[in-house]
Amino acid sequence: MATILFTDDEESIRLLYREEFEEAGYEVVVAASGEEALEKFTETQPDLLVVDIKMPGMDGIELVRRIRESNTDVPVILCTAYGEYRQNLETWASDDYIVKSANLEGLFKKVAELLDRRASH
């Protein structure tokens, strides 16, 4: 069973991700901030990260940069409500980028795709 670390400052989003992805058979770890995500990343060594960009304190781009310093293999999906970040070169450190939606189908698809790609390497 793959472990996914979701980082989002909105509690309702964290709860939604936990509920939906656990129901789909994933082990889910959640963090409310970039700082908390770094701690949980070290503790749990997840198979994939889904990271919000806009968060107070350490934003998602900084979080991805710090994780990439120590681990270049773990897939990262940046997930944000703001489509304009797609043009930001700093988001290119992630493996994928999606705009948040109430419909999680696109996110489920990207998660499965990146975990399959990682497993085949």
CATH number of the domain enclosing 81: 3.40.50.2300
Q: Please answer whether residues 29 and 44 qualify as being in contact, where contact means their C-beta atoms are separated by less than 8 angstroms.
A: yes
**Host domain of residue 86:** 3-119
> How many structural domains does the chain have?
1
Summarised one tens digit per residue, pLDDT across range 83-103 is 554 455 554 556 676 777 778
* Burial class (CB within 10 angstroms; exposed 0-12, middle 13-18, buried 19+) of 78: buried
Residue spans of alpha helices (H) in the chain: 11-23, 34-44, 60-70, 105-119
Summarised one tens digit per residue, pLDDT across range 31-86 is 999 999 999 999 999 999 999 988 999 999 899 999 999 888 999 998 877 655 44
Q: pTM of the full predicted structure?
A: 0.89
Integer Cα distance of 75 and 34 in angstroms: 16
The larger pLDDT score, comparing residue 99 to residue 29, is at: 29
% helix / strand / coil in the chain, to the nearest 5? 50, 20, 30
